[in-house]
Structure 1
């Protein structure tokens, strides 16, 4: 057991070291380019639209979404990222058909060599809250829409608010039904207006064919259902999700089918690995999010291939505290492979009245590994964010860029190599000078308990911690059992309130009680010997008297036994408590090797951290000191039982056994001496009604049943009649008068 404890602590140290070295993110800056965009074809304020980007044509496409009147839209908006102009789609003659109006669809870019250069849209919520299941593709080059032919027609049910899409870094696959090259899009969860879909049922859409103005209808697709093993969690409304390689990442949302707001959002996070068909869920760190947006981190310098960014969204600030992170444009990096979170606050835009976007739900985002705006050869990657609805219910048409510069910053070094003279720049040509990232080193915390599921919250209306992964394959069901707030703050608050008066107890009155003399209670001192017990009471139960003889005798002679016994351990509160023991030869060798290894690794780690990360060195040093202090404290208290250190400290803290001279001095001080024929003197001044039975030392061995006194054997030789006669004669000798009082009938005046 002790060895297992040491090993767990050892691996915890290694995890701490890796966490310190893994907190690396790219230098980030928010840029507001809304007022830099020109053109008359700009989009209206929208929520839950879909967005895509094609670097070949420098085109951003925005489709659908919900307007401020709550009506789904079917307009396509195009943005030329080089001229910074909103333009109207110039579709070929006869190819002007657009998809039906919708919001809350799943989308992704479909780039397949020269066959297709398009943008896929799946499902969504149509007019009159109608769930949709159709698939459409937009051709970036020729700027027209075409409906994808699904063969066979079997596929997922109609829904909106699902998670999925495609990571543009994923490679093409071979489909058994549709000839290649094929791109795969994933689709899971969602809501159909009455029920939530299970996240464990993931659908894969394989797209194939040629898309051009000469052949506009040859794109086809086929659905394939994939089941995630040992995972049965339902989807949530207004969740955020994206694809990272071949895994679906999902966070937050409300696990309810009723009307939702940010008070019902959760911290649920899941990573669904399509290749292994397994799921993992990391420890919760960001505040619960409602309507957030998630996108893969495509920065090529400091990002891992399995890192995603959680952006925006809202949460209820009366339920959660996030250290004002979301109010300041917080970005949360989630490494779905390692299961860790890093919370940071990017630098803002010095040229905008708001240096960062306010909390909002239902925004659309698309990421690129290269610049979307500005110099196409710039050393940065862009994430474009459009629209949403803020905490006041206002629909937005703002366009923000989260720029990730090609560098790396950590919590101990927040300034990157391109910091320059420290002057922040604005606009699409910002180069990263003055960019300084702030790390939030703690996770969001709940302000009040009382709900078994994590309630979500939005940043103030008035918003890196690194967490380890949980076991995979488990769902997070919502509990319907209410819990009570037992915190110290809550109890202290209760003392300031007036107590609710309790209902007076119901009473009754006896009307014919005879008069009697009331005697004042007599305070009795604690009994220290058998002379304090009246004889008749002790004679009522021989078994009780026997046990009491033993208990009181032990109380009187406990110190005598401690002095006389050569095997007693001084200052041991309980002689039955376990005493530490020296391990066997193999255990001694194992303990020494294990402790030497831990100490050596700690020293090596401290030396390494001293040269690389001062914060890491301080954290690890505190951990090391705390570990060894805990080890000494446990050994001082005799734990664990098999421990060399515990044995040494136990022997050092023990007092030496009493000498013969000390024993003789103690015995001589006793009155009367222990050698007297009657150890307990006859009571003086207490009256004739006290009696001391014959005294007998009792064995301390408790393992052989009940203890017996000398009176037990004596009484067992008498029959019942002889015993009764002896009791009566003794009572007569002591002039004890037995008075029999007739029973009285009590009349109750108020039985209610």
Structure 2
């Protein structure tokens, strides 16, 4: 019952594992979640006004719905100097302007860039725009907090309550999601809005701490000093921190992506492909690493998806822009086509989308150039245009491109109220298919493209010290493309380029192993090849389930190796050889061993074993026929039976004379048992007298718990003791006294015989059965099983190393590791319990944990108790009483163990008989064998 439950649990867990592993492996590559139809619109040419902002990098941006104003503050100009100017853009008129504060409130915040900002809207109490910290004019880190009043267009510094506060810094992630309403505060007056500050750096340090700023009070021209703020530090662990990363807030979660970990000077060459989702409670924050999919970027832009058409959009964070090192990473050309990478913070998976572009006046769609340090603001409705209910808009401003040029263009990422996915690329508002441009674009002709693979790393170029040696080993392959020694294409620096690996190839290998492990467990528990009982503990149906799983796993393994040759390619579309990498060579070697060589060896072993069984069956059939002839002969009357063949006779010799049993047997005369005349020398086919109740003796060697049968021990002087006699044929004449037949059977027993039943009146006790260890499988079976387990373990290690080194999701690695450990725990545990009983591991464990049963023998009866009460019996020192005649069977025991005293007695008796002339007389019909000294 326990094993049946284990088998059912294995199948249930397997089904869950396969589904989860398939999901996780697919997510490790990319997710294809539905998204709204995206379109880029360039609105720079639509803007008017004489006070336009210059090209700025890492400025602050915000939007006020009441005044319909977009604000741009600070930022680093093309001169490399932070600015302190404020710019306002009215989204109804699309005209730029600068604020006009009251005469007494004309102060402005110090110049800065890379500050954290956000909207602070609390009904009539406050309607402002908040700026926190940043990098000052001289490169110093700032920690002050300022707020801009939208109504009266003035700035004022926020009063920070005494207590712990973050150190001065710039480049932090954080802000606020405008969809989170303010809450009442029992300590600070008025509704409270919460702003987040995560990480950042100064000129000496980088930070990985998390802070929460609570803003309360009233902001107006008559109460400019009434706004108060207080800092709270949130306990945060396992966040590595970074510089040059992108960050944003979605509801109460902070999301970061990209940047560098081990430097204070961020650059494209040190960016990492990491993303984190930090969820904060009242006092504690938890960090969840997201899957790695987009190319690692420097200073990207992260903004929530504010489109409310689908509830699934509310958990999506949009990753825009940033710059990356194209010599180290291949993004498939997504960045130049305006890629929007969508991160679902609930599932922590990425979806890569290429939006439609702006056709402009030329009709050719255009996209914003890749840039770092751009700033963006989101609103759930359209920000510009006559109809504000057709979409949600994101406005992106400024930044710096990969060439170092500072930018001032303004782009609109419009998310229309619809839904597209991989099976429905066109949405309901596709219209006539003609893309529109300008503020009133309604989504006609918008069609998004989904990228079905993640960005791939390109091997770093060789160092200058190895460039010369590398170039000497590089030759031109077919078509003039440079190839390395392994035959795989290489880039112009001589290093191996990135490979585009298909999702199927990533999926088939782990799924194949996930199916093979439970298939092997079920096969061991149900197969008759491993179980001596024809009724296995598990239902027979699991045997067929194991076969189905094994075939499925085998097929997936073949498909996995096939896809490595057909789907892997370089970014330029070439088909490299999978053997060009260590991963490919190791995978091919494991495939050949586990899926090819072992299968052939198993088939060969089974065929050989079947042939051997057929031969054994033929021998057994011949033996049965012979036994049948003997039985028929025994059933005939004695007068009708054929006279017994000639038996060997040995002349009586003195014990001190030369004597050799083997020589006597060779020189013995053959006589007819009925007439006493010389006859032919044909060996007897039937022995009418058998000694069945002489127990075999065992001698215990030092350090061994199992006795050694005495019948296998040769006397030191070369002669054979009486214990070596397996058969005693009847003498040729029942009336001849002093003559004895001594034919010997020197064959070694090939099977362990079971003890015969106890017979009343015998001199010796019946043998006591001793538990013996099971027979080990043939050597070929053991070698084949060892090869299989070695290959299977190597395959498990190979998959685990691949999942870890290829940066698969930690959850996928953890599940696969747990499944592998569970397999070996069940394998070893069932073998320890002796299931299946024929497996090599079960037999080894059985010998380790099973003690041989050594049972004491009963006291030996005296000779007087066993002999008939006659005078003849009194002179016989040794008497063997024979039970009723029957043929010996393989189940007859050879003998039990005997004590040391018995062994010494028997040895002395045999030594005494060797030194004297003896006669062996068979009394018939009393059926007793008497061995006596005639003198």
Under TM normalisation by the shorter chain, which class is it? 0.5 to 0.7
Which of residues 256, 260, 274 in structure 2 aligns to 1:268?
A: 274
Q: Provide the C-alpha distance between the structure 2 equivalents of 1:401 and 1:496, rounded to a whole number of angstroms.
A: 37
Deviation of 1:277 after TM superposition, in Å, equals 2.2
Q: Provide the C-alpha distance between the structure 1 equivalents of 2:199 and 2:361, rounded to a whole number of angstroms.
A: 38
SS for the counterpart of 2:18 is helix
Partner of 1:727: none
Q: Provide the C-alpha distance between the structure 1 equivalents of 2:491 and 2:275, rounded to a whole number of angstroms.
A: 40
Change in CA separation of 1:649 and 1:9 when aligned onto 2, cut-off 3 Å: farther
Partner of 1:538: none
Contact 2:194–2:215 (Cα < 8 Å) also in 1: yes
SS for the counterpart of 2:40 is strand
Contact 2:32–2:450 (Cα < 8 Å) also in 1: no
Q: Provide the C-alpha distance between the structure 2 equivalents of 1:86 and 1:47, rounded to a whole number of angstroms.
A: 19
Contact 1:579–1:638 (Cα < 8 Å) also in 2: no
Q: Provide the C-alpha distance between the structure 2 equivalents of 1:274 and 1:153, rounded to a whole number of angstroms.
A: 21
Partner of 1:387: 398
- 1:288 and 2:296 equivalent? yes
- 1:137 and 2:92 equivalent? no
- 1:424 and 2:435 equivalent? yes
Change in CA separation of 1:287 and 1:650 when aligned onto 2, cut-off 3 Å: farther
- 1:248 and 2:254 equivalent? yes
Partner of 1:334: 343
Q: Provide the C-alpha distance between the structure 2 equivalents of 1:186 and 1:493, rounded to a whole number of angstroms.
A: 49
Q: Provide the C-alpha distance between the structure 2 equivalents of 1:46 and 1:209, rounded to a whole number of angstroms.
A: 32
Which whole-Å deviations, capped at 9, do the CAs of 1:102-151 have from their partners, x for residues lacking one? 00000011111211111110000001110000000111111111110001
Partner of 1:398: 409
Partner of 2:183: 173
Partner of 1:278: 286
Partner of 2:521: none
Deviation of 1:17 after TM superposition, in Å, equals 9.7
Contact 1:367–1:384 (Cα < 8 Å) also in 2: yes
- 1:150 and 2:105 equivalent? no
Contact 1:245–1:305 (Cα < 8 Å) also in 2: no
Deviation of 1:171 after TM superposition, in Å, equals 3.0
Deviation of 1:298 after TM superposition, in Å, equals 0.5
TM-score by length of 2: 0.51
Partner of 1:323: 332
Contact 2:32–2:351 (Cα < 8 Å) also in 1: no
Deviation of 1:170 after TM superposition, in Å, equals 1.6
SS for the counterpart of 1:398 is strand
Partner of 1:65: 75
More divergent stretch after superposition (441-450 vs 136-145): 441-450
Q: RMSD over aligned Cα, in angstroms?
A: 4.0
Contact 2:68–2:91 (Cα < 8 Å) also in 1: yes
Deviation of 1:638 after TM superposition, in Å, equals 9.1
Which of residues 227, 244, 247 in structure 2 aligns to 1:238?
A: 244
- 1:211 and 2:219 equivalent? yes
Deviation of 1:447 after TM superposition, in Å, equals 1.1
Contact 2:201–2:264 (Cα < 8 Å) also in 1: no
Change in CA separation of 1:496 and 1:704 when aligned onto 2, cut-off 3 Å: farther
Contact 1:41–1:88 (Cα < 8 Å) also in 2: yes
Q: Provide the C-alpha distance between the structure 1 equivalents of 2:452 and 2:608, rounded to a whole number of angstroms.
A: 42
SS for the counterpart of 2:66 is coil
User: After the TM superposition, which residues 18-167 of structure 1 pair with which residues of structure 2 at under 5 Å, given as runs?
Assistant: 23-167=33-177
Deviation of 1:262 after TM superposition, in Å, equals 0.9
Q: Provide the C-alpha distance between the structure 2 equivalents of 1:361 and 1:94, rounded to a whole number of angstroms.
A: 38
Partner of 1:182: 192
Which of residues 198, 204, 210 in structure 2 aligns to 1:202?
A: 210
User: After the TM superposition, which residues 477-626 of structure 1 pair with which residues of structure 2 at under 5 Å, given as runs?
Assistant: 491-492=486-487, 584-586=536-538
Q: Provide the C-alpha distance between the structure 2 equivalents of 1:405 and 1:704, rounded to a whole number of angstroms.
A: 86
Contact 2:27–2:349 (Cα < 8 Å) also in 1: no
Contact 1:10–1:598 (Cα < 8 Å) also in 2: no
Contact 1:30–1:348 (Cα < 8 Å) also in 2: yes
Deviation of 1:213 after TM superposition, in Å, equals 1.3
Change in CA separation of 1:494 and 1:73 when aligned onto 2, cut-off 3 Å: closer
Partner of 2:614: 659
Change in CA separation of 1:171 and 1:597 when aligned onto 2, cut-off 3 Å: farther
Partner of 1:370: 381
SS for the counterpart of 1:286 is coil
Deviation of 1:7 after TM superposition, in Å, equals 3.5
Q: Provide the C-alpha distance between the structure 2 equivalents of 1:337 and 1:590, rounded to a whole number of angstroms.
A: 38
Change in CA separation of 1:323 and 1:177 when aligned onto 2, cut-off 3 Å: same
Deviation of 1:635 after TM superposition, in Å, equals 10
Aligned length: 514
Q: Provide the C-alpha distance between the structure 1 equivalents of 2:62 and 2:37, rounded to a whole number of angstroms.
A: 24
Q: Provide the C-alpha distance between the structure 2 equivalents of 1:649 and 1:117, rounded to a whole number of angstroms.
A: 83
Change in CA separation of 1:134 and 1:590 when aligned onto 2, cut-off 3 Å: farther
Q: Provide the C-alpha distance between the structure 2 equivalents of 1:341 and 1:321, rounded to a whole number of angstroms.
A: 17
Change in CA separation of 1:493 and 1:36 when aligned onto 2, cut-off 3 Å: same
SS for the counterpart of 1:396 is strand
SS for the counterpart of 1:9 is helix
Which whole-Å deviations, capped at 9, do the CAs of 1:379-418 have from their partners, x for residues lacking one? 1010000001111111110000000000000012111110
Deviation of 1:169 after TM superposition, in Å, equals 1.4
Q: Provide the C-alpha distance between the structure 2 equivalents of 1:176 and 1:586, rounded to a whole number of angstroms.
A: 66
SS for the counterpart of 1:273 is strand
Which whole-Å deviations, capped at 9, do the CAs of 1:634-669 have from their partners, x for residues lacking one? 999999xxxxxxx999979974445349999xxxxx
Larger radius of gyration: 2
Change in CA separation of 1:493 and 1:150 when aligned onto 2, cut-off 3 Å: same
More helix by share: 2
Change in CA separation of 1:423 and 1:225 when aligned onto 2, cut-off 3 Å: same
SS for the counterpart of 1:243 is strand
Which of residues 366, 391, 408 in structure 1 aligns to 2:419?
A: 408
Contact 1:294–1:308 (Cα < 8 Å) also in 2: yes
Contact 2:294–2:331 (Cα < 8 Å) also in 1: yes
Deviation of 1:65 after TM superposition, in Å, equals 0.1
SS for the counterpart of 2:393 is strand
SS for the counterpart of 1:401 is strand
Change in CA separation of 1:592 and 1:384 when aligned onto 2, cut-off 3 Å: farther
Contact 1:237–1:255 (Cα < 8 Å) also in 2: yes
SS for the counterpart of 2:20 is helix
Change in CA separation of 1:434 and 1:101 when aligned onto 2, cut-off 3 Å: same
Change in CA separation of 1:287 and 1:77 when aligned onto 2, cut-off 3 Å: same
Which of residues 321, 338, 352 in structure 2 aligns to 1:343?
A: 352
Deviation of 1:237 after TM superposition, in Å, equals 1.7
Q: Provide the C-alpha distance between the structure 1 equivalents of 2:440 and 2:27, rounded to a whole number of angstroms.
A: 36
Deviation of 1:173 after TM superposition, in Å, equals 3.3
Q: Which runs of 5+ in 2 are unaligned?
A: 1-5, 463-482, 493-526, 552-589, 620-661, 663-702, 706-712, 718-935
| Greater RCO, 1 or 2 (C-alpha within 8 Å, sep 6+) | 1
Contact 2:243–2:264 (Cα < 8 Å) also in 1: no
Deviation of 1:157 after TM superposition, in Å, equals 0.4
Deviation of 1:261 after TM superposition, in Å, equals 1.8
Change in CA separation of 1:662 and 1:350 when aligned onto 2, cut-off 3 Å: same
